[in-house]
Amino acid sequence: MKVVKVGLLGLGTVGGGTVNVLERNIEEISRRCGYQVQVVKASARNINAARICRTDAIQLTDDSNEVINDPSIQIIVELMGGHEPAKSLILEAFKQGKHVVTANKALIAVHGNELFAAAAKNNVTLAYEAAIAGGIPIVKAIREGLSANKIEWLAGIINGTGNFILTEMRNKGSAFEDVLKQAQALGYAEADPTFDVEGIDAAHKLCILASLAFGMPLNFNAVYTEGISGVTPLDVTYAEELGYRIKHLGIARQNPNGVEMRVHPTLIPEKVLIANVDGVMNAVMANGNAVGSTMYYGPGAGADATASAVVADIVDICRQLDSSASSHVPALGFLSDKLETPAIVPIMDVRTAFYLRLSVQDKPGVLAAITAILATNEISMEAVLQKEPKQQGADAQIILMTNTVTEKSLLLALNEIESLDSCNGPAIRIRVESLQEDT
């Protein structure tokens, strides 16, 4: 059987998982692609570090250029992360006619347009299934499985750390800071958790998903991003009382004014399947105008789960080695000269329903004053909860669910409400999405 030689840039968790999956399933992989896939060389910062995989058949080096410049290697797998030197190494691999597989979502989101163009120019492939949602084959699902559809919207839980934190807050009533420490102790969150809990990691992934869904160039800077550090156990509890769950969602939607791309905490009706995705699991819903709503669920990280996506890309490349890259599935699912650049809808013009929580003085007439301001701003209420103070002199809590309104209109109303003498402190507001087919 013919051999395809692979070089790894990075031999950490995912790199080790890739070696293990290739070794464990070598017969199945060969039956699928017609090649014996061999990892022959790998670069790592510390070549003497302990590994989760066997390395006796792999030449290790601390110089990534040695992997790129090996003439026997046909496929490079980039698992270094970050922008540089990963970007420069990939561009050099393209120049040498090598195909590349990457799990680097930040690199694709920020530099993907340049990298895809360079790959096409050199008649090679840049594959990136592992960059989004770990083991869920979401790139293939949207790019190929849903290619008969006009995608109307998609929404995803695409960061396992944030989902774990919100799940624990709901199940145990714990504060954000306490669950974050637990997530760090379990290895789900980094020592610096900013990328996860402030939504940057999810924004990278949403940027790619939106481009796949709508056939537009990657535009990471246009993604509105909001984290979960401000979510409190109180809001999690009140959301449950109203029949909702709070999830950290990435949402992309086409509307008559352009495309929305946003990452933020979101109330979802508990009956919607994605509202019940818990722990470190990921899920993506996509709504197509032919198929309706579909959902894709699975582990969003981990050695074997992410390696599953890496190896699937290797298999796809092997199947196409004897054909021109111009005949392959386009990188973003649309012909490169047919990509469109729609307007991006500013967050102030996005229309959603809202959950509001107000701390107010416990006296008559407060709710009437608030509802009068909302009515003046043409904002109606779908539900109201009033929570009496637990001790004398403490604030009462008023929880409101509004109808669909623009962010701009809601903020104007909130400015008036927060200026009331009876209102203590800023309002807590969280967007609400029904995620139904008619939204």
> Is this structure's pTM higher than 0.85?
yes
Residues 99/124, Cβ–Cβ less than 8 Å = yes
**Which residue, among 121, 71, 73, has the nearest Cα to 325 in the 3D structure?**
121
Spelled out in words, what is the top-level CATH class assigned to the domain 351-432? alpha beta
Residue 352 token pair: 């959603």
Residues of the chain with CATH 3.30.70.260: 351-432
Residues 205/158, Cβ–Cβ less than 8 Å = yes
| pLDDT tens sequence for the chain (439 residues) | 899 999 999 999 999 999 999 999 999 999 999 999 999 999 999 999 999 999 999 999 999 999 999 999 999 999 999 999 999 999 999 999 999 999 999 999 999 999 999 999 999 999 999 999 999 999 999 999 999 999 999 999 999 999 999 999 999 999 999 999 999 999 899 899 999 999 999 999 999 999 999 999 999 999 999 999 999 999 999 999 999 999 999 999 999 999 999 999 999 999 999 999 999 999 999 999 999 999 999 999 899 999 999 999 999 999 999 887 778 899 999 999 999 999 999 999 999 999 999 999 988 899 999 999 999 999 999 999 998 887 877 899 999 999 999 999 999 999 999 999 999 989 999 999 999 754 4
CA–centroid distance for 288 within its chain? 19
Q: Give me the CATH topology for the region 143-299.
A: Dihydrodipicolinate Reductase; domain 2 (3.30.360)
Residues of the chain with CATH 3.30.360.10: 143-299
CATH number for domain 3-134+303-338, candidates 3.50.50.60, 3.90.1300.10, 3.40.50.2300, 3.40.50.720: 3.40.50.720
Residues 203/263, Cβ–Cβ less than 8 Å = yes
Q: Just list the catalytic residues.
A: 205
**Which residue, among 434, 433, 436, 140, has the nearest Cα to 263 in the 3D structure?**
433
pLDDT score for 374: 95
Residues 250/207, Cβ–Cβ less than 8 Å = no
- 24's enclosing H/E stretch is helix 13-24
Residues 129/312, Cβ–Cβ less than 8 Å = yes
pLDDT score for 439: 43
Residue 128 CA to residue 107 CA, distance in Å, equals 10
Residues of the chain with CATH 3.40.50.720: 3-134+303-338
Q: Hey, what amino acid is at 286?
A: A
Residue 324 token pair: 């021109």
pLDDT score for 437: 55
Residue 438 CA to residue 116 CA, distance in Å, equals 34
**Which residue, among 105, 127, 98, 72, has the nearest Cα to 312 in the 3D structure?**
127
How many other C-beta atoms lie within 10 A of the C-beta of residue 406?
A: 16
* Residue listed under structure tokens 């396992």: 160
Segment 199-249, tens digit of pLDDT = 999 999 999 999 999 999 999 999 999 999 999 999 999 999 999 999 999
